[in-house]
Structure 1
C-alpha cells in the first residue's frame, strides 16, 4: 500500500508528532509499500521529517482554497500511485477535497480528527465532512466522535483510534536532578509540573489556582514548573504575579528536551478542560511520573481513575489540590499508579499497537 500523509499545519503539537510516529511505525512494521509526508516547507514537521531522512514533499502554503495547489496535489497523488490520502489538518482537508471534487483525483481520502469542536458552523464545512470522497474519519477519542455527529450524516464512517507515544523516546524513568540544578532548586523540594501550550482549553488559570491552595497549605515543599509557550503565556504570567506566586512557579518556555525533563517531575498536574486525549499523559506513563488530570474530554480514555492516575473535577482547584496532596503523601499509591500506567501504555498506546490499528482502518478493509 502506498500512503500520503497530508497536512497544511506549520505548527508543532501532538498531531504533528503523531504523523512522525505513524511514519516510523508503518515503516518498522512493514505495513506500507511506500509512504510520503506532504507538509508546508516552513513547518516544524518538514524540518524534523527531513532530519530523520523521511520522504517528505514540501509545498508553499498560501490558502486552503488554492486551486493551483489542489491541481498540483492531484498530479502528485497520481505520480506516487497513492492508495490512500491520510489528512491531518482542516486546511489540508479542504485542499484534498478540492483536488478530488474539481480535478477528479480518484484516491480515497481518510481524515484524522483530534479536536473536540463542532464543525456544523456553515454549509461548506458540513459539505466537506460529508463529501463522498472521505471514506473514513478516524477520531482520537469518543468525545471527538460525538462532536462530529452533529455534522456527519453517516456515523458509520466515524471510528476511534487513540493517541500514540514512543516508549523508545521516553526511556528515562528516574530523576537526575537536572531541573533542580538548572533552576537552583533545593534538593528537598518536590517538582510538580505541566507541559502544554498556553492556550485557553489547557486552563492554566485552574493550574495556578491549584498551586495557590497548595502553597498556602504548605503540606510539602515544592516548586511548580510550567513548560511551553503560546498566545496566553503573558496572561498567565500576569495572573501568577497578581496571586503573589512568582517564587513558587517557574516558567521554562518551550523545551526540546521533554524526554529528559519530564522524569524530573514528582507529579504531573494536567488541568486541561477540553482535551481530546492528552498525549503528554502517555509520555508521563512512559517516564513513570504520577498524574493528576482533569476528568475532561477524552482524558478518561487515557487515565483509569484510581488505577493509572487520579482524575479531578474540571475547573475545581480544591479538588485538584486535594488529589495532589493525597498522591504526594502516599508513595505506595504513586508506585502502584505509575506501574499500572506504564503497563496500560504498553497494552494500548505504543507505536506498534496504534500503527496496527491505523493500518486496519486505512488498508485492510476496502475503502469504498
Structure 2
C-alpha cells in the first residue's frame, strides 16, 4: 500500500490579487491532491478577498494562519512551525519567501524532505553592494541551505548566487518562473484607456511591480522625463501597490519636479494586468534586481515589445535585439535611449514581439508544476 504523504506549503505571505504566482501555487496543490497527498498551506494572514483562497480550500487543503518570522532567527516562529510539522507528521515541507526559521523548525521536526524556493536575488545584489566582514558569512542563507534537501532557484543567476556565496551547488536546481500564458495571449484591453482618460493616439509605456526601491520606478520617471520631451503624446502607467509609503512619496515628488503630473498614472494593485498590458504600447522593467520577473514574461505573452534592465535573471529571458531590449542597470539615460529607439522603429517593435512569443512555453504553469512535483518524488525515493 502506498504511503500517504503529508505536505506543507509555507508561503510566508498572503495573496492580494489573482496572479500567475497564485495560480501556480493552486495548480501545485491540486497536483499533490490528485496523487493522494494531504495538503496544508501556511499564510501570514487571512486575505482581504476570500475568493482568492476558495479554490485552494476546494482541493481539500487546510489553511493555517500564522505571522511571518520576525528576523532571520525567530524562536517563536521556529516553535510554532515545529509544533505544526511535528503534529501532522509532515513528510514534505516547501517554503518560499520566509525561509530560515521555518526550515530550522522542519529540521527539528524531522521532516524528511525540506525544499526552499529562492525567488529573488539577495538583498546585497539588490543594493549593488558586496558583502564585507561578517556579512560575507551570510548565516541565514547558509543555515537554510544546510537544512534544505533541495533549493529551487527561479533562475540560473539566482542559483549561481547561492553556491558562490555559501556553497551547496549539488542542492541547487533551476525551476523557471510560472506564467499563465494563455490568459495573457488571448485577453483584450477593452475599456482600460477610457478608465485613465487615455486617447488612442497616446503611446502608453507600462511598468508592473510595486512601490519599493528595488523595482526602480525612480529610474523609470527620470527616463520618461526625457522621453516625454521628444515624444509629447507618451504616457507612463505604473501598476502596483504602495508597498513603501516612503518610496511612493519619493516618486510623487520626483513627478512634480519634472512637471509630469498629467502624464504619469498610478493604476494601483490590479487583478486585470492582462487587460492593462493589452491596452499598452511597450513594457519596461527598470528593476535594480530580479530573479526572473513574471511581469516581463507576461508582457511578452501579451504581445508587447519589452525593455528591461540587464540584471539578475533577465538576460536568461531577453536576448538583446532579438526578443527584447536591455539597458544598463540603473542607467536612466540608457533606458530613455532604448524607449525612443523602440518607439521610433515599428519594424523593430514587430520583430521583438514576434520573437518574444516563440519560446515562452518553458515558462508555463504546467511545466512549473511538473518540475516541482518531480523534485518532490525524486527526493522521496530516498525516504520510502
**TMscore range, shorter length:** 0.7 to 0.9
After TM superposition, give the deviation of residue 98 of structure 1 in Å. 2.1
1:203 is the counterpart of 2:216: yes
What is the alpha-carbon distance in structure 2 between the residues aligned to residue 13 and residue 304 of structure 1?
30
**Rounded Cα–Cα distance in structure 1 between residues aligned with 2:32 and 2:323:** 28
The answer to whether residue 94 in structure 2 is matched with residue 86 in structure 1 is yes
**Residue pair 2:29, 2:39 contacting (<8 A) in 1 also:** no
Q: Deviations over 1:192-214 (max 9, x none)?
A: 11111111111111100111111
The question of 1:109 aligning with 2:114 is answered yes
Deviation at 1:42, TM superposition (A): 1.8
Matched residue, 2:155:
141
Q: Partner residue of 1:222?
A: 234
Residues 61-120 of structure 1: CA deviation (Å, up to 9, x unaligned): 274422541332223441xxx4421111225x412422422xx42331011111211698
Corresponding residue number in structure 1 for 2:346: 331
- Tell me whether 1:8 sits opposite 2:12 in the alignment: yes
Contact kept in structure 1, 2:93 and 2:111, CA below 8 Å:
no
Contact map agreement 1:286 1:345 (CA 8 A) in 2: yes
| Matched residue, 2:128 | none
Q: What do the CA deviations read for 1:224-260 (whole angstroms, capped 9, x no partner)?
A: 1111122111210111111111121111222222122
Which residue pairs with 1:185 in the alignment?
198
**Equivalent position SS for 1:148:** helix
Q: 1:50 Cα shift?
A: 2.1
- Classify 1:123/1:115 alpha carbon distance in 2 versus 1 (closer, same or farther; 3 Å): closer
User: Who is 1:277 aligned against?
Assistant: 292
Deviates more, 1:160-169 or 1:326-335: 326-335
Counterpart contact for 1:7–1:89, Cα < 8 Å: yes
From 63, 74, 92, the counterpart of 1:57: 63
Do 2:159 and 2:174's aligned partners in 1 also have CA atoms closer than 8 Å? yes
The unaligned stretches of length 5 or more in structure 2 are: 125-130
Equivalent in 79, 83, 94 of residue 72 of structure 1: 83
User: Partner residue of 1:40?
Assistant: 43
Aligned-partner SS, 2:116? strand
TM (norm. structure 1) is 0.86
Q: Secondary structure at the match of 1:112?
A: strand
Could you tell which deviates more after superposition, 184-193 or 43-52?
43-52
- Residues 265/281 of structure 1: CA separation in 2 closer, same or farther (3 Å cut): same
> What is the number of equivalent residue pairs in this alignment?
357
* Alpha-carbon distance in structure 2 between the residues aligned to 1:5 and 1:204: 32
Instruction: Report the TM-score when normalising by structure 2.
Output: 0.83
Q: CA deviation at 1:38?
A: 1.8
Q: Is 2:269 aligned against 1:258?
A: no
Q: Give the RMSD, CA atoms, in angstroms.
A: 2.8
2:372 aligns with one of 344, 347, 358: 358
Distance 1:193 1:46, change over 3 A: closer
Q: Distance in 1 between matches of 2:220 and 2:382?
A: 44
Preserved contact between residue 187 and residue 275 of structure 2 (Cα < 8 Å): no
Mind listing any 5+ residue stretches in structure 1 that lack a counterpart?
A: none
